[in-house]
Amino acid sequence: MKKWLWLAILLLLTTASPLVGAAFPGAPVKIEVGAAAGGGMDIVARALAERLAPRLGQPVLVSNRPGGGGLMAMMALKNAAPDGYTLALVPSWTLSYQPLVTQHYQKSDFTLLATLYRAPDALIARGDAPWNSVAEMLAVARASRQKLLFASQGPVDRLIVNWLARQTDSKIAVMPTKGGGEMIPRLLGGHVDFAYSATMHTQYVSAGKIKVLASLADRRQSVAPEVPTLQEQGWNIALNTFFITLLPRNTPSPIAERLAGALQETMADEFIRALIEDKLMMNIDFRLLAAADALIEQQRAEMRIMLDALQ
């Protein structure tokens, strides 16, 4: 008799689980953000959390996991239960590049939910720099046998610059920084010759303090439409940094679809659009599931080309 009673209780608990489609979510949802509080990704995450909550009917919390270029957030997500209550917001290269150079996780450890927006990645210099493009800068440096000093914000921009140095037989030394907040004063103070920026440069370009040497994306910068992309300057490589949302592997499809639908509605919110495009000077680029995965695979192939060339 006791055996049947326990089986009945177990069945009741199982059917009452918040994992069951219509019941989800039955508790607060958490977003692991691969950046410190106060930065652009964190600002977007908190705005998304506020707008997602009424659509999901539960609070949405933000947990900052800075460090390792998104590694901490990815590891937290990898170790989370695949129940839809934990997702991550990270740059796309955490999924396309990091698994190529680290054993901490693989792309197959996650379910890619969507791309949300993309950054205007660029190589930049001071406004009074004697060159106006990457091609011109490298040509001048080679002619004068000058070693250039580059302010880096992470492993992917270092990969691109090291690849450029190898392709052009240029001498480039890398100075790591802890982000745009440290990079900008180093550049403006004359401590480096050029730098990588995702978004921090846009306000300074308008003021004439910084110039764009190349858009790293596959399209020109809206703040400097006259400046060619890196591809247009002769190198068939692009860095399109998308900010993506992920779930742990094996998250049930109905739960993933529920979250994807809520995200799609939220990204269409005028407040979110104005925040991302008008205030942060980035571009909404919402793509779901298979379309998002195609972008990651394309980026992964480009990263592999550069890594192989540097071997």
Output the average pLDDT for the chain. Answer: 89
Neighbour count for residue 244 (Cβ, 10 Å): 27
Whether 247 and 111 have beta carbons less than 8 Å apart is answered as yes
Is the pLDDT assigned to residue 280 strictly greater than 70?
A: yes
Beta bridge partners of 245: 89, 114
Please tell me the total number of residues recorded for the chain in this structure.
Answer: 311
pLDDT (0 to 100) of residue 11: 44
Q: Identify the DSSP state of 274.
A: I
- Give the whole-angstrom CA distance, residue 60 versus residue 25: 10
Residue predicted with more confidence, 211 or 1: 211
- Give the whole-angstrom CA distance, residue 38 versus residue 18: 32
Is the pLDDT assigned to residue 16 strictly greater than 50?
A: no
Which of the four pLDDT bands, split at 50, 70 and 90, describes residue 22? Answer: low
Sign of the four-CA dihedral 72, 73, 74, 77? positive
Query: Which domains occur in the chain, in start order?
Result: 29-119+241-309 (3.40.190.150), 122-215 (3.40.190.10)
- Give the whole-angstrom CA distance, residue 182 versus residue 118: 22
Whether 171 and 141 have beta carbons less than 8 Å apart is answered as yes
- Give the whole-angstrom CA distance, residue 294 versus residue 96: 11
Q: Identify the DSSP state of 23.
A: G
